[in-house]
Structure 1
Amino acid sequence: MAAIARAKGLDVEVSAFEKWDSQGRTFGLVSFGQSFHWVDPAVALPKIRTLLRPGGSLALAWNDIEPISELKSRLDAVVARFHADGRTASLGSRASWGTEASPEASANSATAEPVRKVEPVEHPALTQRRDAGFAPNETTFVEDLHYSRHDWLSIVFTYSAQLTMDPVKRAVMREEMSAEIPDDGLDARNEALLVLAGA
Structure 2
Amino acid sequence: MPTIPPERAPLYEHEPHERREVAESFGSDAERYDRARPRYPEGMVDRIVGASPGPDVLDVGSGTGIAARQFQAAGCRVLGVEPDARMADLARQLGGEVDVATFEDWDPADREFDAVVAGQSWHWIDPVAGMAKAAQVLRPGGRLAAFWNIFQFPPDVAKVVVAVCQQVMPDAPFDFQAMTKGSLDGYQVLLAKAADGIREVGGFGEPEQWRFDWEWTYTRDAWLDQMPTQGAFTRLPPDKLAEVLEGVGAAIDAIGGSFTMRYATVVVTASRTGSA
Q: Deviation per CA, 1:68-112: give whole Å up to 9, x if none.
A: 1422212222122224356243574149xxxxxxxxxxxxxxxxx
| Rg larger for | 1
Q: Is the 8 A contact 1:33 1:60 kept in 2?
A: yes
Deviates more, 1:55-64 or 1:125-134: 125-134
Residue aligning to 2:233: 162
Amino acid at match of 1:185: S
Alignment-mate amino acid for residue 193 of structure 1: V
1:145 aligns with 2:213: no
Partner in structure 2 of residue 62 of structure 1 = 148
Residue 194, structure 1, aligned to residue 267, structure 2: yes
Residue in structure 1 matched with residue 175 of structure 2 by the alignment: 87
The CA deviation string for residues 7-53 of structure 1, in whole angstroms up to 9 with x for no partner, is 56543322221221111111111111111122222321111111111
Give the distance between the partners of 1:128 and 1:83, measured in 2 at CA.
33
Q: Is residue 138 of structure 2 the alignment partner of residue 52 of structure 1?
A: yes
Cα drift, residue 166 of structure 1: 2.7
Q: Say whether residues 1:130 and 2:199 are aligned partners.
A: yes
TM-score normalised per structure 2: 0.56
Q: 2: CA distance between counterparts of 1:41 and 1:22? A: 18
TM-score normalised by structure 1 residue count: 0.76
Q: How many residues align?
A: 175
Instruction: Give the Å deviation of 1:179.
Output: 1.4
SS in 2 for 1:140: strand
Alignment partners' CA distance in 2, 1:5 and 1:195: 25
Counterpart Cα distance in 1 of 2:148 and 2:174: 22
**Whole-angstrom CA distance in 2 between matches of 1:129 and 1:187:** 35
Distance of aligned partners of 1:78 and 1:47 in 2 relative to their CA distance in 1, 3 Å threshold: same
Q: Indicate the residue corresponding to 2:46 in structure 1.
A: none
Percent of aligned pairs sharing the same letter: 31
Amino acid across the alignment from 1:179: A
Residues of 1 paired with 2:132 and 2:263: CA distance? 31
Once residues 150 and 185 of structure 1 are traced to their aligned partners in structure 2, the CA distance between those partners, rounded to angstroms, is: 9
Distance 2:190 2:124 in 1: 20
Q: Distance in 1 between matches of 2:170 and 2:217?
A: 26
Secondary structure class of the residue paired with 1:19? coil
User: Contact 2:195–2:207 at 8 Å: present in 1 too?
Assistant: yes
Structure 2 alignment gaps of length 5 or more: 1-63, 65-87
- 1:162/1:83 Cα in 2 relative to 1: closer, same or farther (>3 Å)? farther
Tell me how far apart the structure 1 counterparts of residues 152 and 166 of structure 2 sit (CA, whole Å): 15
What is the alpha-carbon root mean square deviation over aligned residues?
Answer: 2.5
Structure (1/2) with the larger strand percentage? 1
For 1:24, the equivalent position in structure 2 comes to 110
